[in-house]
Structure 1
Amino acid sequence: MARPPLVPPGPELDRTERTRYARHLLLPDLGSTGQRRLRAARVLVVGAGGLGSPALLYLAAAGVGTLGIVDDDVVEATNLQRQVVHGDADVGRAKTASAADAVHAVSPLTTVVEHRERLTADNALDVVADYDLVLDGADNFPTRYLVGDACARLGVPHVWGSVFRFDGQVSVWWAGEGPCYACVFPRQPPPDAVPSCAVGGVLGAVCASIGSVMATEAVKLVTGVGEPLVGRLLVHDALGQTWDALPVRADAACRVCGSGADATRPLGWASAREDDGSADAGPADPRPTVTALGLRDVLARGDVLLVDVREAGEREVVTIPGSAWLPMDGVRAGTPDDPLPGLDVPRGGPVYVVCKTGARSAEAAALLRSRGVEAVDVEGGVLAWVRDVDPSLPTY
């Protein structure tokens, strides 16, 4: 269903603008009035990464007058495979600054507002309230739920995208007009239940596919052209080169936008998982750990089992010499009689467990200890090994 344009038209276009946006002016449904709406629009892009990059470039080229960019990260070499607003010379720079330069190179007429900060429950409402709509390209669940919560609270349309490996999803969440993010995804998954792109990888061009759809949805919402993805979840399979639209609907009992939602609750409350005991849980049990430097000394003594629980593709990038491999699914499949399927567990000595940064290895070590194995978690994972022991190794 078509919806009224979000933004009223600004002043008439001058001669330079009419030339620059001539191909838009030729579109009967958009025309000069639509272009004036774009120039008057204020659009916030959360994340100057894989999805934010193409979205920012196309929104700038489309003539959006003000683009806000939220990101507290700096450019790393591993970003360059898909984050096309950054280049080799930008490594080490703030992503907002690099992205702002790229936007201005495309469209000097666009005003860029840098929010060089992480969105939190304390600042999200203030940031979002200054914009007509939000494009959410966040790469983690807490930020996604926070953005969705803030947009629902303020009634701001929330254009959301997500990518993983060769797949992508995109929708428009809009409380009051259709479902919000929490209506369709009411529970944040447990840590490491859904691997990130940094763990599972992503084809860079899939980010372009999803990011360009996000930009298209933003243009449609601003100008009132076409039917936005409200009430539909678009799913893309790049390997099969298919696009499927799944119907989704608002949940009357949604804790964020439902009839009984508490408008005074702390922002981001929707990301908390119910019935997991976390509210009443006491301090976590102490767990044996070792630093990367400590592991180096242990390995130097020889006859040590170091188990790498990362995925195969991660080991293609970098490994700690001498490590054995059993991915997390294999560890989870173990039993007290066979705690590490396919590996011989030494008797009377500890087993050291490593992953990329320490999250998966902590889970694996806890599982092994529940099976009677003396397991030690390597703090900081392979990245700590590269940083502290052998900086000549590649990272990711």
Structure 2
Amino acid sequence: MNSTKDFTRYDRQMILQGFGKEGQLRLSEASVLVIGAGGLGCPALQYLAAAGVGRIGIVDDDVVNLSNLHRQILFTMADIGASKAETAALKLSQLNSDIEIQYYRIRLNVANALDIIPNYDIVLDGTDNFSSRYLINDACALLKKPLIFGAIAQYEGQVSVFNVPDSKNRLSNYRDLFPDPPGDNEVPNCAEAGVLGVLPGIIGTMQAAEAIKLITGIGSVLAGTLLTFNVLNNQFYEVAFTSSKQSQALLPADTEAFLNMHYKEVCSINDPAIIEINASQFKALRLQPSTLVIDVREESEIPRLKGFEHTVIPMSAFHHEMGTIKAANVILLCQHGIRSMYAAELLHEENHEVKKLYSLKGGISRWISELSP
């Protein structure tokens, strides 16, 4: 979009004092990535598109189901079973054909986050789980991207803005609020605890407002401030927070460190479809037909495996190569059993040809005597 474009649709916001055509031009030249097209993402996407944000990205690997419709008002009964990201992109393009919309039918993870996020000016987190929140936060902190955080539970929602200087020119992020992820089942999600349908609409719209303020430069944003809203009593309250050396130390120091983070394991999310095995089980299973053994360590790591047939797919290339895996049964190995679990989770999510997944518990370091030829 450029200065010769017809801005008639934006007349009501362009006449605002302090906004004007300059503000609209800034919106038209900006890009926002919305991660999660659910309860928070739907209203945020609608208002960002309507406001004229020039390029919007949508990341979501889920499909629409009936239980979504009481709060995810971008979708209808006719959309049940359809991709959320693709359906949202289609409906937003009907709302505003002047903007560019790109969708990604994937789950954001360490293997693709640093490829997608750099293409956008601002990231809006509409996810509903802690592993995704820490992953998105750490990626945005590493890339120095403004991150607009939102969360909802039952009758209460939260909003904040990270990686943007506060009134004292200090930067903060999600780990300054919550340094340590909660344990498994400590904090129930919306599927377990429920949520009032209008609440994500309120919080998601507030997230969109923070993005618009950041882009246009109007007003002040919630940098260094967590805003909480309770829909039952209409109370708002704010909590100020700042960065600390302790929380900064929890961030990955560089790209390599980020790629080696294991967010699902840190947040105690266990997948029953993945079986951890010991050395004796590994020895028996690897001899079964249609079983592929994959070493996900990097080429430089030692010791190299000998004495049995296996394939090497380093973790740094795993996301791009896992579509080529055709075996019915896959056993994954790494040095300590952490990366192999993460690789198994990726395979379970994105490669449905694999029927059974195993990870060597403790890795090669723990079981080196049994694995030696």
Pick the TM interval, shorter chain: 0.5 to 0.7
Q: CA deviation at 1:271?
A: 4.4
Judge conservation of contact 2:31–2:120 (CA < 8 Å) in 1. yes
Structure 2 residue aligned with 1:79, among 34, 48, 68?
Answer: 68
2:174 aligned residue: 181
Matched AA of 1:142: S
- 1:138 maps to 2:127: yes
1:34 aligned residue: 23
Taking the TM superposition and a 5 Å limit, the aligned residue runs for 1:259-274 are 262-263=253-254, 264-267=256-259, 269=261, 271=263
Structure 2 residue aligned with 1:203, among 196, 210, 213?
Answer: 196
Q: CA deviation at 1:11?
A: 2.8
1:252 aligned residue: 245
- Provide the identity percentage: 40
Query: Which one has a bigger Cα radius of gyration?
Result: 1
1:323 aligned residue: none
Q: CA deviation at 1:178?
A: 2.0
- 1:11 maps to 2:2: yes
Judge conservation of contact 1:182–1:256 (CA < 8 Å) in 2. no
CA distance in 2 between counterparts of 1:214 and 1:284 reads 44
CA distance in 2 between counterparts of 1:127 and 1:172 reads 20
CA-to-aligned-CA distance 1:4-29 (integer Å, 9 cap, x gap): xxxxxx63143x31x11111111121
Matched AA of 2:139: A
1:99 aligned residue: 88
- 1:147 maps to 2:136: yes
Q: CA deviation at 1:252?
A: 2.2
Judge conservation of contact 1:44–1:128 (CA < 8 Å) in 2. yes
Judge conservation of contact 2:132–2:263 (CA < 8 Å) in 1. no
CA distance in 2 between counterparts of 1:248 and 1:104 reads 38
Q: CA deviation at 1:253?
A: 2.5
- 1:236 maps to 2:225: no
Structure 2 residue aligned with 1:220, among 213, 216, 222?
Answer: 213
The CA RMSD over aligned residues, in Å, is 2.3
2:102 aligned residue: 113
Q: CA deviation at 1:193?
A: 0.6
CA distance in 2 between counterparts of 1:244 and 1:267 reads 37
CA-to-aligned-CA distance 1:44-103 (integer Å, 9 cap, x gap): 000000000000000001000111000000101111010011111000000011111221
Judge conservation of contact 2:179–2:250 (CA < 8 Å) in 1. no
Distance change >3 Å, CA 144–CA 243, structure 1 → 2:
same
95-104 or 169-178: which moved more?
Answer: 169-178
Matched AA of 1:158: L
Matched AA of 2:178: F
CA distance in 2 between counterparts of 1:149 and 1:283 reads 28
166-175 or 143-152: which moved more?
Answer: 166-175
Q: CA deviation at 1:199?
A: 0.7
CA distance in 1 between counterparts of 2:220 and 2:197 reads 28
Unaligned runs of 5+ in 2: 279-373
CA distance in 2 between counterparts of 1:256 and 1:63 reads 38
The number of equivalent residue pairs is 267
Structure 1 residue aligned with 2:12, among 5, 23, 28?
Answer: 23
Judge conservation of contact 1:168–1:206 (CA < 8 Å) in 2. yes
Unaligned runs of 5+ in 1: 1-9, 286-396
Q: CA deviation at 1:104?
A: 1.4
Q: CA deviation at 1:105?
A: 2.1
CA distance in 2 between counterparts of 1:82 and 1:268 reads 35
Distance change >3 Å, CA 13–CA 249, structure 1 → 2:
farther
User: TM-score normalized by structure 1?
Assistant: 0.64
Matched AA of 1:236: F
In structure 1, the residue corresponding to 2:258 is in which secondary structure? coil
